Amino acid sequence: MSVVTSGFQAKQIYEQVAETIREQIIGGIFLPGSRLPSERDLAAQLGVSRPAVREAIGALQNEGLVATRHGSGTYVTQAGASVRKPLQDVGMALPPMADLSPIATLEVRMILEPAIARLAAKKAKRNLLAERYLAQMADVHNIEDPAQQALWKETDRLFHRQLAAMTEDPLIIKIADVIAETMEQPLWNRLRDDGIFDYERIQLYVAEHRLIYEAIITGDADAAALYVEGHIKRVRRDIAPQ
């Protein structure tokens, strides 16, 4: 007996929130130039978590419907709300498949990466590629410069992938490749750019990466796992505060 599966997939929470806000913008509830309610207020109104609202706002930013100003709030753009018709009719077609939730990605990383660090520490070997990524990250001094911002994004993502390579386990490396791919998605980049945007924060991340690496190459599995866990918790606080 064959089973027929549909092409429908359940929407992630942030997608549902984004859809609600999008409909309110297009319907004229939020006018061009107007400020959206705070993330906290939207979360209370919609009965969802604040991180889900943060992800939804990030998705709407990527669509060009809203723009966020640090220290001021999120505002409806002129392009996003100047018409009362579906987005497809105004040249703003949505992507066929939504990005994975960055919060969900971090939850998976919290499960996997401390264990990866422990396994890598059992090898206790230096890794020249990981060291190169660390050095390149340390060279980033102006995160507002597009070239340095791109360098940071790539080296940060590849450093974490390289920790998996240091386990020398092909399956773990393959899993890490999937996680690394989610860290290339536009929504992940949007939240990361909004949350990690100054020199001091970049240097703090570099220091945390160095602690993880040093613990691994010296064979201190407990410290390596602890440092990874602390680092991921910081990333979570920075890109999607509670």
pLDDT digits (tens, 9 = 90+) for 200-209: 888 999 999 9
The CATH number given to 13-90 is 1.10.10.10
pLDDT higher than 80, residue 242: no
DSSP characters over 192-242: HHHH--SHHHHHHHHHHHHHHHHHHHTT-HHHHHHHHHHHHHHHHHHHS--
The pair phi, psi for residue 13, each rounded to 5°, is -55, -45
Q: Tell me the mean pLDDT in the region 65-80.
A: 86
Q: What is the pTM of this model?
A: 0.84
Q: Taking CA 123 as the corner, what is the angle to CA 118 and CA 127, rounded to the nearest 5 degrees? A: 100
Domain with CATH 1.20.120.530 in the chain: 102-239
Q: What is the pLDDT of residues 210-230, one digit of tens each?
A: 999 999 999 999 999 999 999
Band of the pLDDT at 71, cuts 50, 70, 90? confident
Q: Which of the four CATH numbers 3.40.630.30, 3.30.360.10, 1.10.1740.10, 1.20.120.530 does domain 102-239 have? A: 1.20.120.530
Residue range(s) in the chain whose domain bears CATH number 1.10.10.10 = 13-90
Phi/psi at 68 (5° precision): -105, 135
Structure tokens at 161: 């992938």
